[in-house]
Amino acid sequence: MTPLRTLRATLLAAPLLGAALLAVPAYAQTDQAQTGQAASLLDALSLISGRMLAPPMTAPEVTHDGDKFHVHIPLPKLSSPPNAAIEVTANPLASGVWEITDLTLPPAGALIMPGTDGKPSTSLRYSIGQQNVHGRIDPTLAVPSPYAMAFSDIAFHVDNPESPMDLSIGQLTGEGTISGDGAGHMTTRSHGTADNWHITVTPKTGEPFIATMRSVEATSGIDGLDRARADHLRELLRSVQETRKDTPHEPGKPDPMTPATREKLLAMLDASNGLLSAMKVDETFHGMHFQATGNNTGDIGEIRFAMATQATGDRIGGHFAIGLKDMTLTAVPPQFAQYVPHRVNIDTVISGIPAEALRHVLRDALAEGADPAALQSEAIALLNQPGAHAGIDTLLVESGPLLVQGTARVKALPDGTAGYDVHLTAHGMDAMLALIQGDPKAQQIMPMLFMAKGLGKAEGDTMVWDIDFADGVATVNGVPMGQHPPGGKPGTRPPMNR
């Protein structure tokens, strides 16, 4: 699923293209008479960029004509066009607010990324047909700062010797608001869309992977971000990256953790305390069609990814959800095609974890010579805290007349390993059995369904399975399904995963 990861990464990066390139240094040189306003404008541009990038090699040039200000932000990392830059026009409004009336990226450009470990460099070329970016930004966040952007006819070409890629997007839009609470905390809300995707990945050997998508929609939000802590974390991360550049890299091996890197990572862990109160990202892909090797094709009506984290008091938690609708795959044998799940929803949750206890585990993990087994027991023990919970809150699989739903919970066992409680229900099993009995091509599915039904407990027209796994033994509806591993040592994984 590497191409799908490529699509998701591009979706997340593309709406930020206009904003992320806006990172500017606070030390830009300006006319003395306009120093205060110019610095305020640069702060506004830095705010909407998320301060994600290191400052450019050359400081921005700020000029003004009456009340109108112009900012020229060089982009020296672009190999073309010559003297590539972002051009910004803005007007100062009352109370220090800036109205950004125009922000223009170079309509076409190229970037060369040096190769590593003896591999050749990779080049990225892009073009943008039309673009429109505007906003009203208050660098002090005394009032909400809305912004919006729209790009059309976007094309990327990645020239990679291993797998060149072409990506085109018909239209890309984004809008959002940044606000503050007056105490250095920031809240953001954003919404973006990308329509008419087409991506082609051409591997060095084999057939190309081709995918199209009707539309993609993404929303995100951050609550209570401590701007000072975020800036400190950003500087620490940049320092870690610089430190690793000085560490020799051996191909095929993970980079060693030097004492300097370990010290900075521990500092980042401490700086993360109180960083934010909540964060969420929700992405939905509509109308995806792909063609892979062997003339294998597929259509997925909808794919959804959602992730959220929250910190309440001294407890933290989060969830990750994935959903699929209307899936058709030609790689599935014809006799099984109608039984491929056409709807899948999974929502995994972890909640009520004491923040300081979790940081203690992470500190131990960064210690030199950390014992993986001890770390696993220490992490699992977090679930013994009152109110702690980890597992699957929602499991739904719908295939033909069969609807399977369930939940699962991870529990800490006295020996430091994990156990699992699983509750499953199935509606429509008899209808599914009748469907398969009338389909000679699918008879090999029958034994599995009969076995599952035999292990289940009937409650009306619903089959129920309560599964407990602990000490290497699974119990289904009170009936043990296995024995302890040889030697009597409890296992840590369900039998099917050992």
Q: Tens digit of pLDDT for each residue in 252-269?
A: 666 678 888 889 999 999
Calpha distance 304→337 (Å, rounded): 22
Q: What is the pLDDT of residues 139-166, one digit of tens each?
A: 999 999 999 999 999 999 999 877 899 9
Check pLDDT > 80 for residue 119.
Answer: no
**What count of Cα atoms within 13 Å lies in the side-chain half-sphere of residue 138?**
19
Name the residue among 382, 308, 379 with its Cα closest to residue 352. Answer: 382
Average confidence (pLDDT) over 1-14: 41
* Domain boundaries of the chain, sorted by first residue: 219-399, 401-498
481 in helix, strand or coil?
coil
Calpha distance 304→115 (Å, rounded): 34
Backbone φ, ψ for residue 295 (5° rounding): 55, 30
Contact 47, 41 (CB under 8 A): no
- Tell me the CA distances in angstroms from 134 to 141, 167, 179, 294, 445, one per residue in order: 17, 26, 17, 47, 58
Check pLDDT > 60 for residue 497.
Answer: no
pLDDT of residue 419: 93
pTM score, whole prediction: 0.82
pLDDT of residue 335: 65
Alpha-carbon torsion 354, 360, 366, 369, what sign? negative
